[in-house]
């Protein structure tokens, strides 16, 4: 839909003075398509006017929501709306639609935003639209889109704001990352604007590339205060997820509303810097749930992984903004801007005290598949070595076990390296060619099958086909559920059942059939529970916003 609907009608009175039979007669004529009867009733009962206009608006809104058609515009653009002449649609989102307009008296071009739904919008939508207009009207900063006027015309909420001739940053980055210096300079400008918001008592809470408009000279302007919170408080309840999954901070993703502060916006600035340097956001799963889980649990790969032109110091600045704990991020947006300006001017950044434990923890969260496996393998090897030191005569028995554990660790690193060898989603046209990424299903399947084979070989080496160590098979099935893919759980279950059967036949020594049967039942029960939980987690949810 490229044209604005006609000026929304006034809402019908709460207690109509029309008899019920008149309303029934009009609805009957409307359903039958009897235009003559409809016109006759309208002429005889002018109070039907607001009802008919509201019904038409609801029909158009229902058609747009259902995707069955578009609401019929009353007039093509340009058209007049109050003091403005609407010239062209600039864009639309979940909350509203924005038009390029000209103030007829002043001859100045502006952007006019209308609340979607008009008089049919919910009370919460109207409250949020008005709150956004009030907050944005308080701000005057050269890098923030300002609101000049707002109003309610026949039930249609609208506001007029600065017009930025250009596209948003997200659209620009579809062609690849920006040059490093340009990306840093852009984020410095936006960070100064965000700091101005904070000093004015406002949290933006939705800092992302699509909310940064660029003019013809690529000067950035921060916009969209739909989720902003002022110093007068916020009615958002704990547990409510606010923002866009790929750019929200961990505390936002977890719904910990009371923990959201200026450092949450610093996290958003980190995602903008990451995307500007790499051409891809730090996290981007195949669904909103996958992305939220990555935000909560994983560490992003360094920007230089996607763009080798990014120097190590910028890696550090960017990853520091994306820390899970707010206390480890830059305290203010101004501090981030100072760091980036220092790098631009002198190639240096402020010192960052980071403990060895934090660095190891980030490395494991960045590569959890390999990280946790290597921790388990290293722990097992340490116990075996202690056993060999305490009883040197067992060295010959455990030597093949140590070799098997070492090989398992090497294969784990191989699969992890293969899985993270992923180029940026969008690269510059002159960028050198890079190896094609390996499908996630392929390398994850290789990794978990390596686990099953390694465990089976090690159990065979230690004559463990009847030992409690067999409990590792159900554990492998449960661990496969961490990928939230039911097909992977089924694959690992089949592999474990097959491996157990092979172990029982090939390994020397007797095996009690009832013990083997109980283990197989445990494997199947673990698989059923894990797959059931994945199905519950992955039920369709509403859009996160």
283: number of Cβ within 10 Å: 24
Looking at residue 100, what is its pLDDT? Answer: 92
pLDDT(246) > 70: yes
250-294 pLDDT per residue, tens: 999 888 888 899 999 999 999 999 999 999 999 876 677 778 888
Tell me what pLDDT residue 110 has: 92
In DSSP notation, 9-61 reads PPPPPSS--S-HHHHHHHHHHHHHT-HHHHHHHHHH-TTHHHHHHHHHHHHHH
The ranges assigned to domains in the chain are 79-161, 169-361, 369-537
**Which range, of 154-163, 256-265, 346-355, 482-491, averages the lowest pLDDT?**
346-355
Residue of 4, 235, 3, 12 lying closest to 120 (CA atoms): 12
Query: For the segment 400-432, what is each residue's pLDDT rounded down to a tens digit?
Result: 999 999 999 999 999 888 877 655 444 444 444
pLDDT band of 354, cuts 50, 70, 90 = confident
Residue that wins the pLDDT comparison between 496 and 46: 496
Tokens 């916003």 correspond to 545
Q: How many CA atoms lie within 13 A of 441 on its CB side?
A: 7
Under the banding of pLDDT at 50, 70 and 90, the label for residue 57 is low
**Out of 18-22, 309-313, 447-451, which region has the weakest mean confidence (pLDDT)?**
18-22
pLDDT at site 151: 87
pLDDT at residue number 334 = 95
Is the model's pLDDT at 37 over the cut of 80?
A: no
- Average of per-residue pLDDT across 80-104: 86
Calculate mean pLDDT across residues 456-476. Answer: 88
May I ask the CATH architecture of the domain 79-161?
2-Layer Sandwich (3.30)
Handedness of CA 158, 164, 165, 166 (dihedral sign): negative
**How much is the average pLDDT of 86-100?**
83
CATH superfamily of 169-361: Transferase(Phosphotransferase) domain 1 (1.10.510.10)
1-15, 152-166, 308-322, 511-525: range with highest mean pLDDT: 308-322
Lowest mean pLDDT among 49-58, 180-189, 195-204, 257-266: 49-58
Indicate if the pLDDT at residue 301 is higher than 60: yes
Mean model confidence pLDDT for the chain: 81
Closest of 305, 249, 299 to residue 277, by C-alpha:
305
213 by DSSP, 3-state: which? strand
Specify the pLDDT at position 233. Answer: 56
């Amino acid at each position: 839909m490229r044209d604005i609907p006609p000026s929304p009608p006034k809402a019908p009175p709460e207690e109509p003075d029309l008899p019920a039979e008149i309303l029934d007669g009009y609805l009957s004529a409307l359903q039958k398509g009897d235009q003559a009867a409809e016109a006759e009733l309208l002429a005889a009962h002018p109070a039907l006017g607001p009802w008919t206009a509201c019904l038409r608006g609801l029909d158009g809104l229902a058609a747009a929501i259902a995707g069955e058609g578009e609401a019929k515009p009353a007039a093509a653009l340009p058209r007049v709306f109050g003091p403005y002449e609407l010239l062209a649609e600039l864009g639309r989102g979940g909350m509203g639609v924005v038009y390029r307009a000209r103030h007829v008296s002043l001859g100045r071009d502006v952007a006019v935003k209308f609340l979607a739904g008009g008089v049919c919008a919910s009370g919460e939508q109207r409250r949020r639209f008005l709150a956004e207009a009030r907050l944005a009207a308080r701000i005057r900063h050269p890098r923030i889109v300002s609101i000049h006027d707002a109003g309610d015309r026949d039930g249609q909420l609208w506001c007029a704001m600065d017009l930025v001739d250009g596209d948003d940053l997200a659209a620009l980055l579809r062609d690849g990352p920006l040059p490093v210096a340009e990306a840093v300079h852009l984020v410095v400008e936006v960070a100064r604007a965000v700091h101005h918001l904070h000093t004015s008592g406002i949290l933006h809470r939705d800092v992302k590339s699509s909310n940064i408009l660029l003019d013809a000279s690529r000067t950035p302007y921060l916009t969209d205060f739909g989720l902003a919170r002022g110093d007068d408080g916020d009615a958002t309840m704990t547990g409510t997820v606010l923002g866009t999954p790929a750019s929200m901070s961990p505390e936002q993703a977890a719904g910990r509303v009371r923990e959201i502060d200026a450092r949450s916006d610093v996290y958003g600035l980190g995602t903008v810097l990451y995307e500007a340097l790499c051409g891809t956001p730090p996290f981007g799963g195949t669904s909103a749930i996958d992305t939220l889980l990555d935000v909560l649990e994983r560490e992003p790969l360094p920007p230089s992984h996607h763009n080798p032109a990014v120097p190590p110091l910028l890696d550090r600045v960017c990853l520091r903004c994306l820390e899970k704990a707010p206390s480890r991020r830059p305290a203010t947006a101004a501090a981030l801007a100072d760091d980036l300006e220092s790098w631009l001017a002198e190639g240096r950044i402020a010192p960052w005290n980071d403990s060895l434990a934090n660095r190891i923890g980030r490395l494991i969260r960045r590569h959890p598949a390999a990280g946790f496996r290597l921790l388990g393998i290293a722990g097992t090897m340490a116990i075996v070595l202690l056993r060999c030191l305490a009883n040197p005569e067992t060295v010959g028995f455990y030597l093949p076990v140590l070799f098997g554990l070492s090989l398992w660790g090497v294969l784990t690193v191989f699969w992890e390296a293969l899985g993270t060898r992923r180029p940026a989603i969008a690269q510059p046209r002159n960028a050198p060619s890079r190896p094609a990424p390996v499908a996630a299903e392929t390398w994850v399947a290789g990794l978990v099958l390596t686990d099953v084979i390694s465990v089976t070989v090690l159990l065979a080496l230690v004559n463990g086909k009847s030992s409690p160590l067999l409990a590792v098979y159900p554990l492998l099935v449960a661990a496969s559920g961490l990928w939230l893919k039911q097909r992977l759980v089924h694959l690992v279950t089949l592999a474990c059942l097959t491996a157990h059967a092979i172990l029982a036949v090939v390994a020397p020594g007797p095996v009690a059939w009832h013990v083997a049967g109980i283990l197989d039942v445990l494997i199947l029960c673990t698989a059923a529970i894990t797959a059931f939980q994945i199905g519950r987690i992955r039920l369709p949810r509403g859009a996160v916003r």
